[in-house]
Structure 1
Amino acid sequence: MFSNNESLSLLISFLSLFIQTPPLPEINVNEWWGPRHLKSIQDTSIRPFVVEFNASMIADLRHRLRNTRQMTPPLEGTGSEYGFNTKEIPRWLRYWAEEYPYQDRVVEINKYPQYKTNIQGLDVHFVRVIPKVPIGIEVVPLLVLHGWPSSYLDFYALIPVLTSVSPHRDFVIEVIAASLPGFAFSDGAVRPGFGVDKMAVVLRNLMHRLGHKKFYTHGADWGSVVMSNMATFFPNEVLGYHSSMPTIFSPLQAFARIVGDYFPSLVVRPEVADRMYPLSNFLSKIVRESGYFHLQATKPDTVDIALTDSPAGLLAYFFEKISVGTREYYQHRADGGLELHYTKEQLVDNLMVYWASDSVATAGRIYADSFSPRYFSLRTDSIPSSVPAWILQAKYEISYIPPWMYKLKFPNLVNETVLDTGGHFLALELPVVLAEDIVRAVVEFRRLQHKGKKKEGRNCEVNSDFVDLLCLLQFYKVINLLCI
């Protein structure tokens, strides 16, 4: 007999027989996104890069921090429900202007080798750490991508774990932590339409430039969406995909979510049902916390004028999102709960990367170019990818997706790791936990490679009989499409 969620997933698979899978979009791997006049003189070298906090930039920043207008007091009895509490901001501005150790921190930021190279007209910035290993140990490449309002610095604490040699495995990981195009020290596109699908192509080309025709990936937030597109477009190159924020947007998963609001046991295991339902709570949270999303998906440049000009505004805007992304209930705290999980240096380091690179505006455009009619028309989340996938889901992540539902996109889902703690910014909050999970995923991906076949994800809350039926339904779906 099938369990409830197996029965619903079987129904979804049956419904999928009548929904034609969209075709794979045409992919131009050489599409030019930089200034057109530079196309004929593109420099494809890999150049060392060093982050600088020069004296004039620091002086200007301190002047702005010291000369902010007096802020409107928060309403009585509120924490950060109306936005980051204005009583808390002055102490952060004093720290940033007077106590933040600029030169010590820039040394810390530069502790790993950084580079730039021009891909499709855009200078792409990345950290690359190649471990030295004894004979007999293979070095395998891993591309890791951050989201917004994060940066490549999120992964610094993971690097020692990922690049360490272990007697329990015959490989070690080379880490490539890239700045998403438009973020930090990576150039943004000079014309519209540069969504996550286009970024996936650029970053795949980056890996080729580095000599890696096949590689593993990890993504968080927007990085996860970029990596999902990469696995869709280049399934023979992505050896395995690890995500700490799995997401799909398709009619079938939306239908399943709605059904689950009435019958939760049909969709999700009881022990994690509260992460999805009641649906009214989830939708209320999305409406309450996604104002920035709608703004940046429609008119990003307007708000970015303020964030680019005012470091106080940038701090308040970013800290509010980091606070609620860490724990939603921190909105009731005046301090946002930030220092319960992160150091002052970590939080301001991230601000400094955006400020020093003047990338606030180009980073914000990812929302407008990815939540667009052009991108939605591709329906990439409805195109299954054969790439082996592994998902990690933190307790306080923005949303939870049942493994069987994620298998609609990644049929070769290998494993789900469920945490009883942790929020959206997991690389900063629990770096060792995340790094060790990535290593476990790569171990399993390699095991599947060595077996010469892809695993069918049988440990993801489905039994073997159900998998066989699901495979049979997929087979009939193929036959159905061939007959159209």
Structure 2
Amino acid sequence: MPLRLMSWMKLFSAAIVIAALLYKIREKSMAESPMPELDPDPWWGPGEREKGDDSVRNFKIAISNQDLDDLKARLSLPLRLTPPLENANFTYGMNQNTLKEIVQHWRLKYDWRKREALLNYYPHFMTKIEGLDIHFMRGSAQTKGAKNIKVLPLLLIHGWPGTFVEFYDIMPLLTTPQEDSNVVFEVICPSIPGYGFSQGSAKQGLSHLETAQIFLKLMKRLGYDQFYLQGGDWGSIIATSMATMYPENILGIHLNMFVANSLGPNLKLILGAILPAGIVVSHEDQEKLYPLTEKFGMFARETGYLHIQATKPDTIGAALNQSPVSLAAYIMEKFSSWTHRDNYKEVNGGLLHKHFPIDIDKILDNICIYWFTGSITTSVRYYAENFSPKAVANNLDSIPCRVPSAMSAFPHDLLNQPKNFIAHKFYDIVSYSDQLVGGHFAAMERPKLLARDFHQFVNTVETREN
């Protein structure tokens, strides 16, 4: 048999197999799972339910001198560090020599009182929802006299190990008029329950589904029945849950770091590794997923924390909450390798390079929020709640999200899926943008890129709706 004919027959056979699998995928995807049922009025606070309080209270970040002196005292203790292996850089995690430099900077140069004043630039508030004090920061829209500018509400959601601190550089790009955009945003930026100034649950079971309900109640309390969503990391998952469960309330959803975890994308992932590029996964999307051994290796290297936090959060929480140096080592290492995948090969993990995209003091602001609020344990418990059998069984991944959606893929993020994978979850993808630079902390690293992409998405949706 001629070689050309054999090759043609192999491709034909492969096409038949793919067609059969895609048919099965489509058949299964059409049988939608029922929407998860949530208690509409749970109580996550300690003890028994108390009388409701719907007030929205002013809040100011004001760390006591006693807490500040305690931090300084702990940072002044002799460091018990183990010399790094020769030429190991960040391949074993946080390099101890780098950690020593960071702690010295934190102790001698970092000025919390100045940073605190900057963090209070935007007004902060507290309100009680389902028994928990929920903190949020607000950025008011400013049209600056520009005509034909539409003001729209936006819920901006952070992730781990981030906080609301992630959004200080992007806030002015969202709240003020931008070139080639006819919209500005009234930004509501809440802290996830158990993160920073938002109270942690006293009871088991508060996952991204329950958080979605809390944040919807927050927006409605503030007078917003319909609004846009933007988020990465946990913010992406919470936003996706909101858009899936409450589509009538969501004008559009924009995500950085996104995943469709259902039968279709997972089968495509396997087929794409076997079949030639272009059949299941386009040539330009190959680097997002393959080679699988390399991608799985990277993912395994970067997600050890996830297994610990999803199984024994209180153990690691106790260790991190005892020492600011330990907390800094744990969180700083994530900012290193999640900003650029090759940073673990660098002597100081890239953190102290002059071209590192996030200022060291901004990362310390973020760490200080965890430290002063003592919230690292409640923040990592969020993993255990979201990987619990109950949370996994909700099967929200298989329920379509039909609101207008946009994805901004930053090349050094932990995970990026191609558009034809994401389409199994998001049925109305307005835009999918491959960014040239940036990693996991997009709002801190590349605020202009993220803001521009978001503005373009919203302008497209608003034009289409009109």
**Fold shared, TM-score > 0.5 on shorter chain:** yes
In 1, the alpha carbon distance for the partners of 2:375 and 2:323 equals 13
Q: Deviations over 1:165-213 (max 9, x none)?
A: 3575443211111111111101111111111111111111111111000
Q: Is the 8 A contact 1:71 1:86 kept in 2?
A: yes
Shift of 1:321: 1.1
Does residue 235 in structure 1 map to residue 247 in structure 2?
yes
The alpha-carbon distance between structure 1 residues 246 and 167, as it changes in their structure 2 partners (threshold 3 A), is: closer
In 2, the alpha carbon distance for the partners of 1:168 and 1:210 equals 29
In 1, the alpha carbon distance for the partners of 2:322 and 2:416 equals 36
- Structure 1 counterpart of 2:6: none
Does residue 178 in structure 1 map to residue 194 in structure 2?
no
Unpaired runs of 5+ in structure 2? 1-13
Give 1:390-401 correspondences, 5 Å limit. 390-401=406-417
The alpha-carbon distance between structure 1 residues 138 and 95, as it changes in their structure 2 partners (threshold 3 A), is: same
Name the amino acid aligned to 2:39: N
Shift of 1:35: 2.1
Q: 2:46 aligns with which of 23, 35, 38?
A: 35
Q: Is the 8 A contact 1:201 1:230 kept in 2?
A: yes
Name the amino acid aligned to 2:272: G
- Structure 1 counterpart of 2:267: 255
Does residue 129 in structure 1 map to residue 139 in structure 2?
yes
The alpha-carbon distance between structure 1 residues 255 and 45, as it changes in their structure 2 partners (threshold 3 A), is: same
Q: 1:309 aligns with which of 322, 329, 353?
A: 322
- Structure 1 counterpart of 2:231: 219
Question: Which piece of structure 1 moves more, 16-25 or 247-256?
Answer: 16-25
Aligned residues: 445
- Structure 2 counterpart of 1:388: 404
Q: Is the 8 A contact 1:144 1:177 kept in 2?
A: yes
Does residue 319 in structure 1 map to residue 343 in structure 2?
no
Q: Secondary structure at the match of 2:361?
A: helix
Q: Secondary structure at the match of 1:356?
A: helix
Name the amino acid aligned to 1:305: A
Q: Is the 8 A contact 2:155 2:229 kept in 1?
A: yes
Give 1:420-431 correspondences, 5 Å limit. 420-431=436-447
Q: Deviations over 1:12-62 (max 9, x none)?
A: 35423145321111133322211243x332321111111123211111111
In 1, the alpha carbon distance for the partners of 2:78 and 2:307 equals 27
Q: 1:83 aligns with which of 93, 111, 114?
A: 93
Does residue 298 in structure 1 map to residue 311 in structure 2?
yes
In 1, the alpha carbon distance for the partners of 2:180 and 2:192 equals 33
Name the amino acid aligned to 1:400: N
Q: Secondary structure at the match of 2:372?
A: helix
The alpha-carbon distance between structure 1 residues 96 and 409, as it changes in their structure 2 partners (threshold 3 A), is: same
Name the amino acid aligned to 2:107: A
Name the amino acid aligned to 1:378: N
In 2, the alpha carbon distance for the partners of 1:9 and 1:357 equals 54
In 2, the alpha carbon distance for the partners of 1:302 and 1:167 equals 49
In 1, the alpha carbon distance for the partners of 2:260 and 2:192 equals 20
Q: Deviations over 1:196-249 (max 9, x none)?
A: 111111111111111000000001101000111111110111110000111121
Give 1:263-282 correspondences, 5 Å limit. 263=275, 264-282=277-295
In 1, the alpha carbon distance for the partners of 2:328 and 2:243 equals 34
- Structure 2 counterpart of 1:446: 462
Q: Secondary structure at the match of 1:395?
A: coil
Question: Which piece of structure 1 moves more, 7-16 or 339-348?
Answer: 7-16
Shift of 1:430: 0.3
Shift of 1:271: 2.2
Name the amino acid aligned to 2:102: W
Shift of 1:129: 1.5
Unpaired runs of 5+ in structure 1? 451-484
Does residue 155 in structure 1 map to residue 171 in structure 2?
no
Q: Secondary structure at the match of 1:265?
A: coil
Name the amino acid aligned to 1:218: Q
Q: 4+ residue stretches of structure 1 with deviation over 4 A?
A: 7-11, 166-170
- Structure 2 counterpart of 1:120: 130
The alpha-carbon distance between structure 1 residues 288 and 136, as it changes in their structure 2 partners (threshold 3 A), is: closer
The alpha-carbon distance between structure 1 residues 88 and 168, as it changes in their structure 2 partners (threshold 3 A), is: closer
The alpha-carbon distance between structure 1 residues 166 and 351, as it changes in their structure 2 partners (threshold 3 A), is: closer
TM-score with structure 2 setting the length? 0.92
- RMSD of aligned Cα (Å): 1.9
In 2, the alpha carbon distance for the partners of 1:32 and 1:174 equals 29
Q: Is the 8 A contact 2:157 2:236 kept in 1?
A: yes
Name the amino acid aligned to 2:218: L
- Structure 2 counterpart of 1:194: 206
The percent identity for this pair of structures is 34
Question: Which piece of structure 1 moves more, 249-258 or 10-19?
Answer: 10-19
The alpha-carbon distance between structure 1 residues 215 and 8, as it changes in their structure 2 partners (threshold 3 A), is: farther
Q: Is the 8 A contact 1:84 1:334 kept in 2?
A: no
Name the amino acid aligned to 2:108: E
Q: Secondary structure at the match of 2:205?
A: coil
Q: Is the 8 A contact 2:181 2:456 kept in 1?
A: no
